[in-house]
Chain A
């Protein structure tokens, strides 16, 4: 299987996109193996610049930064409202959640939340905002209209990444200093179970098509693959140095390696390595376009948002943004 996929790769790289489409169709015979791109392409990226205390808005069609909004508070986490009208930023130094109106590109509300708000996600069905507190070891449930905290859920130590299943029923947190994922019921806000990961899980990503979740384990240089239905640890897959987060497009996983200036490309089915792509220094936030044709990566040291073409596995754009981009979360809309 692994060998067959590598041969696919060699062929795909030479023959290009048309062949890729054929390969995808052939591979879709494997149950649950293919991630079909759905929805239309994202139009903009909202990139938190932690050192620059700002939010870069990048037009993805023209591949240019079109605005940089002053935010303050050393912003890191980012999430989008289900209708795309608001972007929510978590600023750990400012200890705030900040709501941005995406149409007017302006801050419309900000509110104190906890002592170290970092990871942030939005429930796709209810619009509720979930904020992980790095120092207080809990998850806050925040009302999107008022930005008031409406519930608090204790998690493991230093929860970092937050993700919500597409049906809105389950919240996952990557509890960095407990080497685990907490599985939280989005209705009762009770922790239903915890799942062991590799050392220091930071980013967490849900792969709906495969029924899996992935954590990037900073200290282990691995990603952990979790089966969501059985809530069990499936395997740990080696990647580069200090992985930050994972994204999936087509039949591939893409992992940012902070200390390697690289993105590891892994076959999502066989979990075998496919390729390592050189990107800007300290690649961090990473997200797949809804069509599955493009991956976007924020590079903290290079001060860029970089575009990876999924068909050719090459970096096709390096877009200058603000100082110290992190884009930790879902930053495309």
Chain B
């Protein structure tokens, strides 16, 4: 019964004409970094290509336009079949960093709203640190969220994406 009510609330939330960019009261944060035994330029060549996110295990396909110019877009099709649309908001080859926002995602795919993130790459010819910082609100924009669209659910889902991605990068460059 509880689950039925929760599902109904999700369905209703999807139907309600909520104001664009409305969101919950508390922005959430996920920050993670990983050290990779590989040259910084090599890692940045991968992370810094906004048009190819194939290094992330959850991503099946990247399609986009605009290259690495601010304003470039990409559509990520996930292994699960879900779709995330993103826009590049900042890019610096010198500082080896980029920032992007999710412009459109179904909360059933990723239970967040107003998601933005940045990836920063630093290091040497031997060692690289990749830092991923994400800021977002929960999937439910109104009060009293169902559990699957709560602050906690949003943090859990983003943590999985961030840590899964960083782990995959390390594996990609270190082998094994």
Residues of A within 8 A of B (CB): 50-51, 74, 76, 92-93, 115-116, 118, 134-135, 157-158, 177, 200, 218-219, 241, 259, 281-282, 300-301, 323-324
Contact with A along B3-18 (1 / 0, CB 8 A): 0000000000000000
The answer to whether A116 and B25 have CB atoms under 8 Å apart is: yes
The answer to whether B135 and A301 have CB atoms under 8 Å apart is: yes
Secondary structure of the A contact surface, majority rule: loop
The answer to whether B142 and A177 have CB atoms under 8 Å apart is: no
Residues of B within 8 A of A (CB): 19-22, 25-29, 89, 99, 101, 116, 133, 135, 142-143
Given contacts A259-B89, A300-B27, 13 further A-B contacts (CB under 8 A): A50-B26, A92-B25, A93-B25, A116-B25, A118-B25, A134-B25, A158-B19, A158-B22, A219-B21, A241-B89, A281-B133, A300-B135, A301-B133
Residues of chain B lying within 8 A (CB to CB) of residue A300: 27, 29, 135
Asked whether A51 and B26 contact (CB < 8 A) given A135-B143, A200-B21, A241-B89, the answer is yes
The answer to whether B19 and A177 have CB atoms under 8 Å apart is: yes
The answer to whether B26 and A74 have CB atoms under 8 Å apart is: yes
With CB as the reference atom, state the residue of chain B lying closest to A157: B19
The answer to whether A218 and B29 have CB atoms under 8 Å apart is: no
Residues of chain A lying within 8 A (CB to CB) of residue B27: 50, 282, 300, 324
Q: Which of B27, B28, B99, B142 has the most CB of A within 10 A?
A: B27
4 closest Cβ contacts across the A-B interface? A92-B25, A177-B19, A74-B26, A135-B143
Residues of chain B lying within 8 A (CB to CB) of residue A118: 25
CB distance from B20 to the nearest CB of A (A): 8
With CB as the reference atom, state the residue of chain B lying closest to A74: B26
Q: Which of B19, B89, B133 has the most CB of A within 10 A?
A: B19
Give bound CA distance, A44 to B126, whole Å. Answer: 45
The answer to whether B143 and A218 have CB atoms under 8 Å apart is: no
Give bound CA distance, A200 to B114, whole Å. Answer: 14
Residues of chain A lying within 8 A (CB to CB) of residue B99: 259
Give bound CA distance, A300 to B133, whole Å. Answer: 12
CB distance from B162 to the nearest CB of A (A): 14
Give bound CA distance, A188 to B164, whole Å. Answer: 57
